[in-house]
Amino acid sequence: MTLSATPAYDTLARLHMRLHRLEHLQSIAWWDQASHMPPKGSEARAAALAEMATLLHRLRTDPDMKEQIARAEQEALDEPQRANLREIRRDWLQATALPDELVEAKSLAASRCEHAWRRQRPANDWAGFLENFRPVLRLAREEAQRLSEAGGLGRYDALLDRFEPGMRGATVERLFADLKGWLPDLVQRVVAAQATRPVSEPKGPFPIAAQRALSLDVMRLLDFDFEAGRLDESTHPFSGGVPEDVRLTTRYREDNFVQSLMGTIHETGHARYEQNLPRELLGQPVARARSMAVHESQSLSFEMQLGRSRPFVELLAPLVVRHLGAQPAFEPEPLHRLLTRVAPGYIRVDADEVTYPAHVILRFEIERALIEGEAEAEDIPALWDRGMAALLGIDTRGNYRDGCLQDVHWSEGLFGYFPCYTLGAMYAAQWFATLRRATPDLDRRIAAGDLAPVLDWLRGNVWLQGSRWTTDELAVRASGEPLNPAHFRAHLESRYLGG
């Protein structure tokens, strides 16, 4: 029998493979809860998910892990193993900051709040939501405090770091302050320019069965592997599961096919990333997606950079006609105008890419104040109303359904996630700026149906890299520089003003 030269590392790797398999079951239970579970299953599912969260936490905080990590650091590891050990240590440090009872209580509160939110949002029931949300916020604050004490970060930074390793609230604030400096003027200029180019409104209704068939065809165009995933419907679109079994959802309205179409393209970007993470390291932290901003950069590379580009719309147009019938609005030029129309609106997930950052800035400012104790749950509607009026000129007073109840994230205790959406948009613009330098005829190839330049570049530079590098290192290796928001502004001005 040959003894391993890295026994401590191997022990840690086996533990994380076990965690991966249990998280597989956990993720499918979450997906079912959001898409198929009957209402009376809510309490039992909440208890089951809390039980699983507690079990996973206990495995992550096994007292032996500290010694195993210390021993593994002295072993002769290769570069991918070193990167994996870095991620194992990070995971262990965050897990050990939280007691079992907090993990269980947070899971229970989030499951109950999310399930109730699905009824309360359509009913515009802020008061009912608030009753369930208070314990979620209280537990999120406790989680933030414990992570802060363990990691030496501010409370909000400690939560942000879970989704975006290395990112700090002060950096986000600086990036967003710059955005707020030029975005409102850009929105006004684009709206004024588009007023001279009217949009041909599609004539519905658009049957849900036909929309679903269209979504599936577009997923095939984007090379989604249907033997390793599926599309379903939920209240809030999302992508979940594991690389071997990716579950994504969209939502349908018979009077608006764009919502389901672009939502599907967005979630397919997430799914393709998951399906192409490094399989030789599957089950290990180093094989996970690098960060949520990088993850959002993939969904936005698909939905915004590619999906709303003129050459890709030329591919979309015949598919739309095939499933929804021929009409003037579905010709490539009118369809492109429809998909790039800029108009301030209530709903983040339906927003155009020019006004979208304003929705994210609003949520970042509110959730940071909530976690830092500068605002309470009761303050959210007033903060929301002021922010929407200032950023987008929209009145949301009394409209909780299309205002502060529209997102599922806070219901689930996901504080620190929202900045990743606009950070992801910045990364996506940076990826495509790099792509265009490498492939000067990119638009011609896309229009001809050749998506290989895009998909191959993303696969090689982002998907297959997993968490091997820090986010800054990944960006530099892929594009030659760390995150540079100038690419995002240049993209918006070029697409919408022709500058």
372 is catalytic: no
Confidence (pLDDT) at 250: 93
251-273 confidence digits (pLDDT tens): 999 999 999 999 999 999 999 99
Specify whether 195 is located in the same domain as 243. Answer: yes
411-451 confidence digits (pLDDT tens): 999 999 999 999 999 999 999 999 999 999 999 999 999 99
Instruction: State the average pLDDT for the chain.
Output: 96
Whether the Cβ atoms of residue 273 and residue 222 lie closer than 8 Å to each other: no
Spatial distance between the Cα atoms of 476 and 463, rounded to a whole number of angstroms: 15
pLDDT-based confidence at residue 2 (cuts at 50, 70, 90)? low
Spatial distance between the Cα atoms of 458 and 464, rounded to a whole number of angstroms: 9
Establish if 156 belongs to a structural domain.
no
Spatial distance between the Cα atoms of 365 and 415, rounded to a whole number of angstroms: 11
Confidence (pLDDT) at 191: 95
Specify whether 359 is located in the same domain as 456. Answer: yes
pLDDT > 90: what percent of the chain? 94
Specify whether 371 is located in the same domain as 470. Answer: yes
Confidence (pLDDT) at 3: 65
Establish if 308 belongs to a structural domain.
yes
Whether the Cβ atoms of residue 150 and residue 97 lie closer than 8 Å to each other: yes
Whether the Cβ atoms of residue 439 and residue 445 lie closer than 8 Å to each other: yes
246: three-class secondary structure by DSSP: strand
Cβ neighbour number for residue 468 with a 10 Å cutoff: 21
Per-residue pLDDT for 1 more than 70?
no
pLDDT > 70: what percent of the chain? 99
Among the three residues 82, 107, 130, which one is the final residue of a domain in this structure? 130
Taking each helix axis from N to C end, the angle separating 169-194 and 419-438, rounded to the nearest 10 degrees, works out to 70
Establish if 154 belongs to a structural domain.
no
Establish if 163 belongs to a structural domain.
no
382-418 confidence digits (pLDDT tens): 999 999 999 999 999 999 999 999 999 999 999 999 9
Specify whether 464 is located in the same domain as 343. Answer: yes
Give the phi and the psi of residue 394 in degrees, each rounded to 5. Answer: -115, 140
Spatial distance between the Cα atoms of 361 and 387, rounded to a whole number of angstroms: 9
Residue 249 parent element (H or E) = strand 245-250
Specify whether 270 is located in the same domain as 182. Answer: yes
Give the phi and the psi of residue 229 in degrees, each rounded to 5. Answer: 170, 175
Establish if 152 belongs to a structural domain.
no
17-68 confidence digits (pLDDT tens): 999 999 999 999 989 988 899 999 999 998 999 999 999 999 999 999 999 9
Establish if 142 belongs to a structural domain.
no
Specify whether 117 is located in the same domain as 174. Answer: no
Specify whether 324 is located in the same domain as 440. Answer: yes
Specify whether 199 is located in the same domain as 116. Answer: no
Task: Mark residue 253 as left, alpha or beta (left: phi above 0; alpha: psi -120 to 50; beta: remaining).
Answer: beta
275-303 confidence digits (pLDDT tens): 999 999 999 999 999 999 999 999 999 99
Give the phi and the psi of residue 407 in degrees, each rounded to 5. Answer: -100, 150
- Longest CA–CA span in the chain (Å) reads 78
Confidence (pLDDT) at 5: 86
> Taking the model in full, what pTM does it have?
0.94
CATH of the domain at 226: 1.10.1370.30
Establish if 164 belongs to a structural domain.
no
Confidence (pLDDT) at 387: 96
Provide the domain limits for residue 83.
Answer: 7-130
Specify whether 181 is located in the same domain as 105. Answer: no
Specify whether 456 is located in the same domain as 309. Answer: yes
Confidence (pLDDT) at 320: 98
Cis peptide before 205 (omega within 30 of 0): yes
Confidence (pLDDT) at 148: 97
Q: How many residues does the chain have?
A: 499
> Based on the structure, what is the number of domains in the chain?
2
Confidence (pLDDT) at 349: 87
Specify whether 266 is located in the same domain as 338. Answer: yes
Would you state the structure tokens that stand for residue 350, as one six-digit string? 């339906």
The catalytic position among 143, 267, 365, 367 is: 267
Specify whether 204 is located in the same domain as 126. Answer: no
Among the three residues 71, 102, 130, which one is the final residue of a domain in this structure? 130
440-482 confidence digits (pLDDT tens): 999 999 999 999 999 999 999 999 999 999 999 999 999 999 9
